[in-house]
Amino acid sequence: MSTLLWIVVLPLLASIFVTAARQWQRSYLALAVAAFPALALLLLLPSAAAIFSGEVLRYQVQWLPLIGLNFSLHLDGLSFLFSLLILCIGLLVILYARYYLSAQDSMARFYAFLMLFMFAMLGVVLSGNLLQMWFFWELTSISSFLLISFWSQQGDARKGARMALTVTAAGGLALLAGIVLLGQITGSYELSVVLTQTEQLQQHAAYPVVLALVLLGAFTKSAQFPFHFWLPNAMAAPTPVSAYLHSATMVKAGIFLLARLYPLLSGTELWFLAVTLAGLTTLLVGAYFALFQHDLKGLLAYSTISHLGLITLLLGLDTDLAAVAAIFHVINHAIFKASLFMAAGIIDHETGSRDMRKINGLWKYMPVTATLAMVASASMAGVPLLNGFLSKEMFFTQTLHQGVLGSLSWLIPLLATVAAIFAVAYSARFIHDVFFNGEPIGLSKTPHEPPRYMRVPMEILVALCVLVGVFPQWFIGDLLSQAAVAVLGSAAPEYSLALWHGLNIPLLMSVLALAGGIVLYINRKHLFVFQAGFAEQPAIYRFENVLQRFVQRCRSLTAAIDNGRYQRFAGLMLVLVLWLCGAPLLELASLQGNRPALPLDMLVLAGAAILCIAAIATVLTIRQRLLSLVMISVVGLMVSLAFVRFSAPDLALTQLSVEVVTVVLLMLALYFLPHKSVKQSSPGHLVRDLALATGVGVVIGSLAFAMLTQQTDTISDYFLQNAKTGGGGTNVVNVILVDFRGFDTLGEITVLGIAALGIFKMLTGIPRFMSGADGEGRRWALDSHPLLLAVVSQALLPLALLVSVYIFFRGHNMPGGGFVAGLITAVAMILQYVAQGVDWVKPRLKVEYSTLISLGILCATITGLASWLFERPFLTSWFDYFDLPLVGTVELASAMAFDLGVYLTVVGSTLLILANLGKVTTRYRPVHKEQS
């Protein structure tokens, strides 16, 4: 079912498309954007038949099957319902936003973020893998951040966005921890597998932890108490965003998660208690505070919190039908709340204010909008004949049948009624305060009806409120029952979606709520006075305060460890090395292993002695830098000899050539750096450093000894056996580099190239600072190119190049290869610079070294890609033998082309570094383009 993939990806394509179509005329842009989700909707709808007959559609692409990571999509009743909501309301919001955004706002940017969000949200509901779902979950947080801060010039938009991101992303991290634990316990991240492991999970000792972490994720996302405070502050977003993200879809993601994992996590005491209490508190807090908001959107935000609490509460009840009621209310709430937000947006748009103390009596100015808004808020209040009434009835019924609080369970229906009274009161306020209650006060413009098409989305949604309210079974019966099956994991119990269930207690509760709400609204003045007594700092400042203090705390903690001094930090890290490497050694009984030792010979002993003396001399002479440099080059040479002695000819060749370039480099560095160290470390420092150095040396030496004397199983036998037959070369080291581990080598030459380019960048535009004399005040010799060296080096060049060609070609079968050949060529070229000077070389050598690097990496990459032409994996090598007249049998291997890439990169990088460093003092010094 790759249509599933398209449903998810289409909004992403829309997002990319919009950024390209920035210049389009606004209506065309909106139309073009809408085409993508419309297409996705067309792809989704045909699957309705399959979904309604109880099928689950899946789509999977293998990614890392060995560790159970696959890209998988999963469409069942629940995800179908949510996808439908996301796509349909999304389409309406696109249309609405076309008229809502003003000419100064970048419509393309808005749509790009909106579509990114839609992509993420579809990803959440359609994911068949928990980790993948988490990825999309975080993407919804990020796109929500971008959308809330859409008007980034406004301070409260930035603050609100930051708050929303902090809260939801922190919850997301908790969720990730929960999911990983879940995966560990159940052994899989695939939804289809995980959901069958209910018993295993619930009996596991870590179940409470998993539950807490998952709930933390869900509650932060769905703005449950005490994390609800971010939602009202997110109202700084443009209203289409509030309608879409913060009422209909994103805040429902937490609910979705609870519903998705319902079969897995629910059914325990802990679940009932935690979810019920969180839901109940949120329901009450939201409903209470909604009444006191003067901001139209603030009222709707708190009301949304309250309704989310209601849904959560339902998911926490232990009755059979509670989950069905929850899903039903998800649908209804999305419909009426989205339309109410759109109404708020229209009012804001046409009056220039959202303050309910100013906007009064709008009935006269916009009767159609007023009617629509009144129907929608009646639905919010739970007035019969509208969809909100039905789910609220169901909710009341469930509260009467549950027993989650034991003998205190009677509290829940009571408190539910109290919340419902407040819901009626704030709905009444929305209607009465805005559309009646006198005349508008101090508005900047005269209100009027919005553009015709701005109202269309609202009309559709309000029509749905009525249609679902009157013909529930006919409209959403199948949708609901299949979603319920998905949530419960089994067939839903019998229930009837009907308007009239006879005279019963739930109906009584509804009547009580309606009457109580009206009474409460009429007497609201007293309550307002009471509430005004709490002079509270807005949540946003408190939150910012906490955040700032937290950052400050972290900063001082960091400063306590890292005072900005390199020496101290390096020392601390070495102490850590000492500890981590030394502690295991203490547990080892003996360092001596069972590997037969090589007999000692005097030559090696002598070499080792020279090496150690040279190393110590390097340290001792560090204040006379040139001498120190000579000493360290002795160390390097002895290391190369060690490689020769212990059967590593390739390494010896490489080390030797690298030694040459390193010394040239350090000589050049000496020219630029001070020639003497002025400051000597204090004795205390010196003792400390000496102790640390000795300690690390002893530990590493012991470790080396333990390793050297240990008989180990090596995987190298594989390489030895297959080098000739599979890689076509007898020099196993080279075959490993260009064939077995070719991908590593490709990465390494890339790093080399990047380092060289970075160096070039650092040398570009370097200020002139060199003195004309050395440390002792002797002036630099001007005659820098001795004749003898110039002549010899010229003669040497072709010879050296020949050697490097030879080394290159024999590399596959004998010691040598691209790395060594490249270094030899580089050394030969550097010699020209040294002997003749830049002024002489520059006109004669018209090669851009950076081009050489790119060519090298390109050559190696193309060699790797070429194997795709033969339908083999990346970097599969090929070789064959040919008989040529005169020359004899010649081997041709694709590895050679790869090695050529290595060669070019090494030559290019080495020369780019050294030649440019050498050029700094000449007229060819690297400068910024704009300066030259």
State which of positions 635-674 bind other proteins (CB under 8 A).
635-636, 639, 642-643, 645-651, 654-655, 658, 661-662, 665-666, 669-670, 672-674
Closest to other proteins by CB, 261 or 733: 733
What DSSP state is assigned to residue 773?
Answer: B
* Cβ neighbours around 541 below 10 Å, total: 10
Span near other proteins by CB under 8 A; candidates 178-186, 258-266, 542-550, 747-755: 747-755
Closest to other proteins by CB, 508 or 751: 751
Span near other proteins by CB under 8 A; candidates 107-115, 498-506, 528-536, 694-702: 694-702
> What contacts 24+ positions apart, CB below 8 Å, involve 255-258?
255/218, 255/222, 255/308, 255/311, 255/312, 255/315, 255/326, 255/330, 256/78, 256/82, 256/124, 256/125, 257/137, 257/175, 257/214, 257/217, 257/218, 257/221, 258/215, 258/218, 258/312, 258/315
Closest to other proteins by CB, 144 or 654: 654
Please measure the distance between the N-terminal and C-terminal CA atoms of the chain and give it in whole angstroms: 59
Residue ranges in 902-931 that form contacts with other proteins under rule CB under 8 A: 906, 909-910, 913-914, 917
Q: Is residue 565 near other proteins by the rule CB under 8 A?
A: yes
Sequence-separated (6 or more) residues with CB below 8 Å from residue 904: 822, 852, 853, 855, 856, 859
With H, G, I as helix, E, B as strand and everything else as coil, classify residue 929.
coil
Q: Write down the least CB distance from residue 551 to other proteins, Å.
A: 17
Closest to other proteins by CB, 158 or 810: 810
Residue ranges in 752-771 that form contacts with other proteins under rule CB under 8 A: 752, 755-756, 758-759, 762-763, 766-769
With H, G, I as helix, E, B as strand and everything else as coil, classify residue 68.
coil
Distance CA 762, CA 85 (A): 54
Residue ranges in 792-821 that form contacts with other proteins under rule CB under 8 A: 813-815, 819
With H, G, I as helix, E, B as strand and everything else as coil, classify residue 41.
helix
Closest to other proteins by CB, 529 or 598: 598
Q: Is residue 223 near other proteins by the rule CB under 8 A?
A: no
Q: Write down the least CB distance from residue 890 to other proteins, Å.
A: 18
Q: Write down the least CB distance from residue 832 to other proteins, Å.
A: 19
Q: Write down the least CB distance from residue 569 to other proteins, Å.
A: 10
Q: Write down the least CB distance from residue 730 to other proteins, Å.
A: 4
| The one among 567, 771, 784, 851 contacting other proteins by CB under 8 A | 567
Q: CA 81, 316, 134 angle in degrees (round to 5)?
A: 55
Q: Write down the least CB distance from residue 18 to other proteins, Å.
A: 41
Q: Is residue 564 near other proteins by the rule CB under 8 A?
A: yes
Q: Write down the least CB distance from residue 877 to other proteins, Å.
A: 15
Span near other proteins by CB under 8 A; candidates 30-38, 148-156, 420-428, 743-751: 743-751
Closest to other proteins by CB, 533 or 767: 767
Sequence-separated (6 or more) residues with CB below 8 Å from residue 877: 727, 728, 738, 739, 742, 867, 893, 894, 895, 898
Q: Is residue 681 near other proteins by the rule CB under 8 A?
A: yes
Closest to other proteins by CB, 211 or 917: 917
Closest to other proteins by CB, 306 or 909: 909
Alpha helices in 673-714 (DSSP H): 683-708
Q: Write down the least CB distance from residue 882 to other proteins, Å.
A: 20
Q: Is residue 518 near other proteins by the rule CB under 8 A?
A: no
| The one among 453, 474, 550, 705 contacting other proteins by CB under 8 A | 705
Cβ distance 175 to 260 under 8 Å?
A: no
Closest to other proteins by CB, 517 or 636: 636
Q: Write down the least CB distance from residue 855 to other proteins, Å.
A: 18
Q: Write down the least CB distance from residue 124 to other proteins, Å.
A: 42
With H, G, I as helix, E, B as strand and everything else as coil, classify residue 46.
helix
Residue ranges in 594-633 that form contacts with other proteins under rule CB under 8 A: 595, 597-601, 604-605, 608, 611-612, 615-616, 618-619, 622, 625, 628-629, 632
Sequence-separated (6 or more) residues with CB below 8 Å from residue 109: 150
Closest to other proteins by CB, 604 or 855: 604
Closest to other proteins by CB, 232 or 817: 817
Give the residue from 431, 465, 157 showing the smallest Cα distance to 299.
431
Q: Write down the least CB distance from residue 782 to other proteins, Å.
A: 22
Residue ranges in 856-875 that form contacts with other proteins under rule CB under 8 A: none
Q: Write down the least CB distance from residue 926 to other proteins, Å.
A: 11
Closest to other proteins by CB, 182 or 635: 635
Give the residue from 476, 240, 283, 492 showing the smallest Cα distance to 392.
283
| The one among 519, 580, 583, 693 contacting other proteins by CB under 8 A | 693
Distance CA 196, CA 179 (A): 15
DSSP string, 87-148: HHHHHHHHHHHHHHS-TTS-HHHHHHHHHHHHHHHHHHHHBSBHHHHHHHHHHHHHHHHHHH
| The one among 408, 535, 715, 884 contacting other proteins by CB under 8 A | 715
Closest to other proteins by CB, 245 or 632: 632
What DSSP state is assigned to residue 227?
Answer: S
Q: Write down the least CB distance from residue 632 to other proteins, Å.
A: 6
Closest to other proteins by CB, 336 or 849: 849
Burial class (CB in 10 A: 0-12, 13-18, 19+), 471: middle
Q: Write down the least CB distance from residue 67 to other proteins, Å.
A: 25
Residue ranges in 452-481 that form contacts with other proteins under rule CB under 8 A: none
Query: HEC profile for 593-607?
Result: CCCCCCCCCHHHHHH
Cβ distance 860 to 905 under 8 Å?
A: yes
Closest to other proteins by CB, 187 or 701: 701
| The one among 732, 835, 853, 875 contacting other proteins by CB under 8 A | 732
| The one among 158, 349, 358, 741 contacting other proteins by CB under 8 A | 741
In this structure, the dihedral spanned by the alpha carbons of residues 523, 529, 531 and 537, taken in order and rounded to 10 degrees, is 150
Segment holding 881, helix H or strand E: strand 879-884
